[in-house]
Chains A and B, each alone.
Chain A
Amino acid sequence: MDKALIPDGVKRCPLPIFALWALLLTAVVGWGVWAGGMVLYKAMNITGLNDYFGFGFYITIDLAIIALGAGAFFTGFLYYGLSRFFPAFKELSKVINLSVVVGFLCYTGAIVILLLELGQPLRSWFPYWHPNVHSMLTEVIFCITCYAIVLTIEYIPIILENRKINEVRGAHVFGHTLHELMAIFALTGTFLSFFHQGSLGGVAGVLFARPFAFRTGFFIWPWTFFLFVLSAIASGPGFTALVCRALEKVSGRKLVDRSVYDLFGKIVGVLLSVYIVLKIIDTLYWAFVLAPSFGFKLSDFYLGPYYGIWLLVAEILICGVLPAAILLSPKGRSSNGLLFSSFILVCIGVTINRFVMTVQALATPVMPFDRWEIYIPTIYEWAPGFALIAYIILVISISYRYLPLFPREKELNPVR
């Protein structure tokens, strides 16, 4: 029924099966939209947030999803910016469309969740009108919206490549022109994304009265600024690779050459190694120099099963040092099991990092006569989170079905 819309020479599942899949995902998105609507209508008192936890699930998932979406800007930067100097990065052309779609979905989804986070959502335009130039949040808001626009511009030519749309001459010319300009947008996106990934780290790092989160730094940027950029560009390509692999598994088709995964493995391995070394140095300085200068010991920051020291061990050793060691070794990268397990660990690690810098930073008592508090998100927070994931899967599914996301798919899967 929809064969005319499917890219030429590739095979897709029957429409009823796809429709059922899309319906299921739409239901989850609808559930999240309902929950988000209730938050906007009934106010934030139906969430688990309180005066201790001004930030919670929404901010954590926003930070995590934006870090994982960094594959878009970084893959674009490597391909459009560096491949002429390092021809090995030309290999990324095979996955560049997917990385743009993943980035677009992560960022647009994060902006919607960010809207739920505001007590006065109708005033969400105020940061553009009354910006405080000292606030890291101002930088985040400006850069995220600008970059979401850039990603939309990058996504449009992919949509225009749909077989039917491409037959329209105007659309074809417009799409082709945008395609020619893509390097400019990719590098603009790199600039914007670098700053907002960093300023998301700055959001926590500048809190000079919160010893768990505060870091010294360089000029106006705390060290978390640079660590967030590094962790995002280390995990983002890994997430893109995982999405690609998941698509291969679900569709039962080979979509990219194995060499692409191997290249991603090298990129993630090198960046993660640099990041984790700096993160360990930062953690040691924080634990043994910075925090004690405020009267805190490392043990003051960790308590019980919810906020235990296991979070630090899991983040740095299990989800940092371990995957870095695997990915740096050619033998580790050559095994699919080890390669993709490492990517999963890296993504979990960056999510833990965003969680502790958001929630644990607030749970830790600062005043000596203060107490630990536990934050439990309600269904009105979980539902938009699940909806965000369903939205990403849904649009990727639709894009995969109707758009030529993978230039090598036809060759890798000859129709018998």
Chain B
Amino acid sequence: MSEAGHSKSGVLYGMVIDLDKCTGCTACSVACQAENNVSFLPDESNKVRSITWMEIYWLQNGKDYPDYQFTYLPRPCMHCNSPHHSPCTFVCPVNATQRDEENGIVSHIYPRCIGCRYCMVACPYHARRFNWYDPSWPQTMETMLSPEVSTRMRGVVEKCTFCNHRLLQARSKAFADGTDPNAVIYTPACAAACPTKAIAFGNLLDAKSDVGKLSKDPRAFRILEKLKTEPKVYYLSKHQWVHKLGDKGM
């Protein structure tokens, strides 16, 4: 682990979500579910147990008409870049969740997870979900499961991986093509599915990249920045009330 909490290589994958462009269509969330073989609950109305890697929050400014405003806020895992450890990787007793210091992605090793849920307790973003039930899908959907992503068993925690399998595919291709596998750029399923191109993804350390530029935009903010978790997901909004809701008591 890097003590400074920064990528050892020149790559630090991150995401920028433009809330001014987001229409709340949930295409990102649906694409994520399909891409990552997220299972279905017997009762999906139970929202404190349903599994969603890309949760869509509905934020309101709390004012009455005609000053009323609202926005949607898609929330993947923040892949926190806090020094030394992310909140979740710090507490896992079995090293089942780790941050790759080469690229900043926080991953979860399902066959090693003991299901103690300490990582969920540590995460203030509710980005981690527990498999309360055996994974199941409607029968017709089982044939559509992605062979690239392992399904998760009952009793383990899961979360957004920034579509790590797509990174691995991109690296394999780069290796085959004879280019640098460590410099690849790929697109996660949520960013690919967004019809308004509200989600940008790439190397935050590359000042010329979209995410490198957008993360420095005056409209940019991060959720709960005061906690010093150093999330690698940035949001863009022209509304100050949205910024204020993003970081408590800003």
Contacts and interface: CB of A to CB of B under 8 A. Distances in A.
A, B in one complex: yes
Interface string A37-63: 000000111000111101100000000
B73 interface: yes
Given A119-B116, A209-B224, A296-B248, A52 B133 contact: no
A209 B227 contact: yes
Most buried by A among B46, B92, B116, B226: B116
Given A52-B48, A55-B117, A369 B73 contact: yes
Given A52-B48, A206-B90, A367-B124, A137 B130 contact: no
A45 B114 contact: no
A141 interface: yes
B115 interface: yes
Contacts of A105: none
Nearest to A358: B121
A50 B155 contact: no
A131 B133 CA distance: 27
Given A45-B49, A52-B48, A136 B91 contact: yes
B223 interface: yes
B94 interface: yes
A387 B97 CA distance: 34
A390 interface: no
A165 interface: no
Nearest to B157: A119
B83 to A, nearest CB: 10
Contact of A118 (B114, B125, B223): B114
Contacts of A210: 121-122, 124
Nearest to A133: B95
A203 B82 CA distance: 18
B57 A208 contact: no
A126 B93 CA distance: 9
B249 A295 contact: yes
A341 interface: no
B91 A137 contact: yes
B246 A45 contact: no
B113 to A, nearest CB: 7
A294 B115 contact: no
Given A119-B156, A131-B93, A362-B121, A373 B227 contact: no
Given A45-B49, A366-B224, A51 B120 contact: yes
A334 B133 CA distance: 56
Given A119-B155, A120-B155, A54 B121 contact: yes
Contact of B124 (A43, A124, A292, A366): A366
B114 A126 contact: yes
Contacts of A51: 48-49, 120, 126, 128-130
Contacts of A130: 94-96, 112
B34 interface: no
Given A126-B114, A127-B114, A209 B123 contact: yes
B229 A295 contact: no
Nearest to A134: B90
A23 to B, nearest CB: 35
Interface string B50-62: 0000000101000
Nearest to A46: B132
A45 B130 CA distance: 10
A211 interface: yes
A123 B123 CA distance: 23
Given A367-B223, A368-B245, A43 B133 contact: yes
A177 interface: no
Contacts of B129: 51
A132 B94 contact: yes
Contacts of B126: 51-52, 367, 370
Contacts of A137: 91, 93, 116, 118
A145 interface: no
A296 B227 CA distance: 11
A206 B82 CA distance: 14
A322 B128 CA distance: 42
A43 B132 contact: yes
Contacts of B173: none
Contacts of A259: none
Interface in A360-377: 361-362, 366-370, 373
A33 B93 CA distance: 27
A215 to B, nearest CB: 14
Contacts of A135: 90-93, 118
B116 A209 contact: no
Given A45-B133, A294-B227, A138 B93 contact: yes
Given A132-B95, A141-B93, A295-B249, 20 more contacts: A43-B132, A44-B155, A49-B117, A50-B48, A54-B117, A54-B130, A55-B118, A118-B155, A119-B113, A120-B114, A123-B112, A135-B92, A138-B94, A207-B122, A209-B87, A209-B123, A209-B229, A367-B224, A368-B244, A369-B59
5 contacts: A51-B49, A51-B129, A119-B156, A294-B226, A369-B57
Interface of B: 46, 48-49, 57, 59, 73, 80, 82, 85, 87, 90-96, 112-118, 120-126, 128-134, 153-157, 223-224, 226-229, 244-250
Nearest 6 A/B pairs, CB to CB: A119-B115, A295-B249, A119-B155, A54-B117, A295-B248, A366-B124
